[in-house]
């Protein structure tokens, strides 16, 4: 299973009303195989005949609400209704799906191909793609821990990719600078894909503003030149893991950072979601609980859910509504 997700963030704390009350906790389970499936017609999400949760993991299978985003968001009755529906989906499920356009699907396919190509390289070549200032580049399987247990995934992270003479890079801002791309064949499709997802995030934030009935810019003002970043993950087959983790556990239960998390997965199932616990660390929290909802993989969709920044912003509800 491979997964790429973009977290849309800013360095400034945004203000988001607490109407989005349920954020979500995520776990990613290791899957038995990965295959390339033919693409169906755009805009028609179809559940693939892919592997479900690994043996020994009891979950409920759930299907998410799927939305088609407008090309441009303006303050119309139709967009206000759509915005309210998006907010209500997050309130109800904590996560939703949006249909890819044909162009987005093409960008996703190119990025997915580049991902498979990179992760198929010898370890020494992948391990050379690291940078101490940007904290971007390669992370080997087992190097990241969740609740003290090694994760199965190997990862390539893209942070704020800027030229070396950019003032923030010169000032040694962490996670700002040149990404250690292995080659142009990886850089070009990933940057184009990331830019496209950034546009998706802006559209969703504009709709969320309309759905919440808050002034224009209440959210989007905080994401201008924001610290958007991309995480490209590859999970090995369950018979080819690093041997350091827990059987059937790709990544343990956790919450994701950022304001919005936009994810796309291949045709092998593995995402589970549950309402988050905010009283203590969510790392490893109740990951063997039977109340997890398994999210079947669907073609031509992104999954989207609020991240930790959205939770932090809920405390500013009163101030925002008084503006």
More confident residue, 255 or 182: 182
Segment 208-217 mean pLDDT: 94
Domain count of the fold of the chain: 1
Write down the pLDDT at residue 62: 65
Q: What is the pLDDT of residues 23-32, one digit of tens each?
A: 333 434 333 3
More confident residue, 289 or 31: 289
Q: What is the pLDDT of residues 47-61, one digit of tens each?
A: 444 445 555 556 666
Give φ, ψ of 119 to 5 degrees.
Answer: -70, -15
pLDDT-derived band at 78, boundaries 50, 70, 90 = very high
Cβ atoms < 10 Å from Cβ of 73: 20
pLDDT of residue 16 exceeding 50, the answer is no
pLDDT-derived band at 180, boundaries 50, 70, 90 = very high
Parent domain of 103 = 2-322
Give φ, ψ of 232 to 5 degrees.
Answer: -105, 115
Give the highest mean pLDDT range of 159-173, 216-230, 250-264, 305-319. 159-173
Helices and strands counted in the chain (H then E): 7, 17
pLDDT of residue 12 exceeding 90, the answer is no
pLDDT-derived band at 285, boundaries 50, 70, 90 = very low
Segment 174-181 mean pLDDT: 93
**CATH number reported for the structural domain that contains residue 262 in this entry:** 2.60.120.330
Write down the pLDDT at residue 268: 52
Write down the pLDDT at residue 294: 64
Write down the pLDDT at residue 92: 86
Write down the pLDDT at residue 227: 84
pLDDT of residue 91 exceeding 50, the answer is yes
pLDDT of residue 136 exceeding 70, the answer is yes
Q: Measured between alpha carbons, how far is 57 from 245 in angstroms, rounded to an integer?
A: 16
Q: Name the residue among 215, 220, 216, 212 with its Cα closest to residue 314.
A: 212
Segment 257-277 mean pLDDT: 63
pLDDT-derived band at 296, boundaries 50, 70, 90 = low
* Least confident interval from 50-54, 93-97, 170-174, 232-236: 50-54
pLDDT of residue 249 exceeding 70, the answer is no
Give the DSSP H/E element, type plus range, for residue 29: strand 24-29
* Least confident interval from 3-17, 83-97, 180-194: 3-17
Write down the pLDDT at residue 307: 73
Where does 53-212 have alpha helices with state H?
77-93, 102-119, 123-127, 167-170, 184-212
Write down the pLDDT at residue 198: 93
More confident residue, 84 or 33: 84
pLDDT of residue 115 exceeding 70, the answer is yes
Mean model confidence pLDDT for the chain: 73
Q: How many CA atoms lie within 13 A of 164 on its CB side?
A: 2
pLDDT-derived band at 96, boundaries 50, 70, 90 = very high
């Amino acid at each position: 299973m491979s997964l790429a997700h973009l977290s849309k963030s800013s360095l400034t704390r945004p203000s988001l009303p607490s109407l989005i009350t349920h954020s979500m906790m995520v776990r990613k389970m290791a899957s038995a195989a990965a295959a390339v499936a033919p693409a169906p017609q755009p805009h028609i999400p179809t559940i693939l005949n892919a592997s479900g949760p690994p043996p020994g993991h009891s979950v409920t299978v759930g299907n998410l609400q799927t939305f088609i985003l407008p090309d441009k968001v303006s303050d119309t009755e139709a967009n206000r209704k759509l915005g309210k529906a998006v907010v209500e989906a997050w309130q109800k499920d904590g996560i939703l799906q949006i249909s890819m356009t044909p162009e987005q699907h093409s960008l996703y396919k190119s990025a997915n191909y580049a991902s498979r190509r990179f992760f198929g390289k010898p370890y020494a070549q992948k391990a050379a793609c690291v940078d101490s200032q940007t904290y971007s580049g390669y992370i080997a399987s087992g190097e990241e821990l969740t609740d003290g247990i090694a994760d199965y995934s190997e990862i390539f992270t893209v942070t704020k990719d800027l030229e070396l003479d950019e003032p923030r890079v010169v000032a040694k801002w962490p996670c700002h600078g040149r990404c250690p791309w292995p080659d142009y064949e990886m850089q070009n499709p990933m940057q184009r894909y990331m830019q496209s997802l950034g546009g998706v995030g802006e559209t969703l934030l504009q709709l969320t503003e309309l759905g919440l009935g808050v002034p224009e810019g209440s959210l989007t003002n905080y994401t201008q030149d924001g610290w958007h970043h991309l995480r490209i993950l590859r999970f090995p087959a369950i018979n080819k893991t690093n041997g350091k983790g827990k059987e059937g556990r790709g990544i343990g239960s956790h919450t994701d950072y950022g304001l919005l998390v936009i994810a796309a997965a291949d045709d092998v199932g593995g995402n589970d979601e549950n309402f988050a616990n905010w009283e203590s660390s969510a790392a490893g929290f109740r990951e063997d609980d039977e109340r997890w909802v398994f999210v079947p993989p669907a073609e031509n969709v992104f999954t989207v859910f609020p991240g930790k920044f959205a939770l932090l912003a809920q405390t500013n509800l009163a101030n925002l509504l008084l503006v």
